[in-house]
């Protein structure tokens, strides 16, 4: 199959692209390099350096499956919420319309647990939407557009949570907490921790997220939404503690104010993806 991976120069997209190539698929990456890096892309992938806002039907010619991972990052949503919505909402709609036009059969969409906001109790796919960040709102718009196209292509929405692994951005303003803490320990031995550290995360290995994307392609579900994560709840403080214990030098913690819109409780039910897509999540290993 010819597969398009948007955001394929980024963290998760580059792993999906590599895995698709390994399985013998043709891979086209479209990325504007606003956050991604060409060195992340696997050898053998074709590349169009473009925003999803500017692509044309010619760019998508012959594509059978789209893995839509391009998104404006959480830090952009704080600086420029209008642009964040343009990319995550309007950009997704534009890509959907073009995909239908060129005859794409599968559209596998990277959404996020941020669409739920802070939920009391366990988060299931039927929990109400209550995003508490601009990013959560724009990503919700994106996935709602995907739902509208379920009768035109096989659409699957995967709501990722706290993905970590190789090539994750480690800049404290942009990156995920596992990569950021690891880099801070390596560089200076001072971890910066927002809030009191009691906020829970369901850390999920990028390799498992990739397998979920492949299962969504090969098992042909359609119009489905899945929580795509492990269900191992770990506090950010516990993560810091585990990394500090592993470090071979003294490490201190600098406390910073909580991040706006940060969510403290994540108790996520992932049974639907386990049962229907047969994906297993292997917990968090540092």
Ligand X SMILES: NC(=O)c1ccc[n+]([C@@H]2O[C@H](COP(=O)([O-])OP(=O)(O)OC[C@H]3O[C@@H](n4cnc5c(N)ncnc54)[C@H](O)[C@@H]3O)[C@@H](O)[C@H]2O)c1
Out of 3, 28, 35, 202, name the contact with ligand X by CB under 6 A: 35
- Determine the straight-line distance between the first and last CA of the chain, rounded to whole angstroms: 34
The radius of gyration of the chain from alpha carbons, rounded to an integer in Å, stands at 18
**Which range binds ligand X by CB under 6 A, 8-16, 182-190, 213-221, 263-271?**
8-16
Going along 33-136, which residue ranges are E strands?
46-49, 65-68, 106-112
Length of the chain: 286
Out of 31, 84, 208, 211, name the contact with ligand X by CB under 6 A: 31
Nearer to ligand X by C-beta: 85 or 251?
A: 85
**Which range binds ligand X by CB under 6 A, 11-19, 99-107, 147-155, 249-257?**
11-19
Question: For residue 164, what are the contacts with CB-CB under 8 A and spacing of at least 6?
Answer: 176, 178, 179, 203, 204, 205, 206, 284
The yes or no reply on residue 10 touching ligand X (CB under 6 A) is yes
Distance (Å, rounded) from C-alpha 17 to C-alpha 45?
A: 7
Which residue stretches of the chain are H helix?
11-22, 74-79, 81-85, 92-102, 134-148, 177-187, 206-218, 236-246, 271-277
User: Residue-wise over 60-77: b if at least 16 C-beta within 10 A, else e?
Assistant: beebbbbbbbbbbbbbbb
Instruction: For residue 250, give the 3-state DSSP assignment.
Output: coil
Nearer to ligand X by C-beta: 17 or 251?
A: 17
The yes or no reply on residue 137 touching ligand X (CB under 6 A) is no
Out of 12, 45, 65, 146, name the contact with ligand X by CB under 6 A: 12
Q: Is 140 left (phi over 0), alpha (psi -120 to 50) or beta?
A: alpha
Contact of 268 with 229, CB cutoff 8 Å: yes
Interactions with ligand X, residue window 37-66 (CB under 6 A) = 51-53
52's tokens: 């999803």
Residue in this structure with the two tokens 């929580």, named with its chain if needed:
227
Nearer to ligand X by C-beta: 154 or 205?
A: 205
**Which range binds ligand X by CB under 6 A, 70-78, 95-103, 235-243, 245-253?**
70-78
Out of 5, 63, 66, 73, name the contact with ligand X by CB under 6 A: 73
Minimum CB separation from ligand X for residue 283, in Å?
16
The yes or no reply on residue 84 touching ligand X (CB under 6 A) is no
The yes or no reply on residue 72 touching ligand X (CB under 6 A) is yes
The yes or no reply on residue 158 touching ligand X (CB under 6 A) is no
Out of 92, 99, 112, 155, name the contact with ligand X by CB under 6 A: 112
Interactions with ligand X, residue window 170-189 (CB under 6 A) = 176
74's tokens: 């959480």
Interactions with ligand X, residue window 200-239 (CB under 6 A) = none
**Which range binds ligand X by CB under 6 A, 29-37, 147-155, 238-246, 264-272?**
29-37
Whether 135 is catalytic is yes
134 to each of 39, 89, 190, 274, how far by Cα in Å? Answer: 30, 11, 30, 30
Which chain residues interact with ligand X by CB under 6 A? 6-7, 9-13, 30-36, 51-53, 69-73, 87, 91, 110, 112, 139, 160-163, 169, 176
């Amino acid at each position: 199959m010819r597969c398009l991976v948007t955001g394929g120069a980024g963290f998760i997209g580059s792993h999906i692209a590599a895995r698709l190539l390994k399985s013998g698929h043709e891979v086209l990456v479209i990325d504007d390099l606003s956050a991604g890096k060409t060195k992340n892309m696997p050898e053998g992938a074709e590349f169009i350096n473009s925003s999803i806002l500017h692509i044309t039907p010619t760019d998508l010619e012959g594509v059978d499956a789209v893995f839509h991972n391009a998104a404006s990052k959480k830090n952009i949503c704080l600086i420029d919420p209008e642009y964040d919505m343009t990319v995550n909402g309007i950009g997704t709609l534009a890509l959907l319309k073009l995909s239908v036009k060129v005859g794409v059969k599968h559209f596998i969409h990277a959404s996020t647990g941020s669409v739920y906001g802070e939920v009391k109790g366990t988060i299931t796919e039927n929990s109400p939407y209550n995003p508490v960040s601009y990013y959560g709102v724009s990503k919700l718009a994106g996935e709602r557009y995907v739902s509208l196209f379920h009768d035109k292509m096989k659409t699957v929405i995967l709501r990722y949570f706290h993905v970590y692994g190789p090539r994750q951005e480690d800049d404290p303003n942009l990156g995920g907490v596992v990569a950021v803490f690891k880099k801070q320990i390596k560089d200076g031995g001072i971890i910066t921790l927002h809030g009191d550290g009691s906020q829970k995360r369901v850390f999920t290995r990028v390799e498992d997220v990739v397998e979920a994307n492949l299962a969504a392609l090969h098992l042909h579900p359609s119009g489905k939404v899945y929580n795509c994560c492990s269900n191992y709840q770990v506090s950010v403080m516990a993560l810091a503690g585990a990394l500090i214990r592993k470090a071979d030098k003294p490490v201190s913690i600098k406390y910073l104010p909580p991040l706006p819109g940060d969510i403290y409780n994540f108790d996520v039910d992932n049974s639907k993806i386990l049962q229907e897509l047969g994906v297993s999540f292997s917990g968090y290993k540092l």
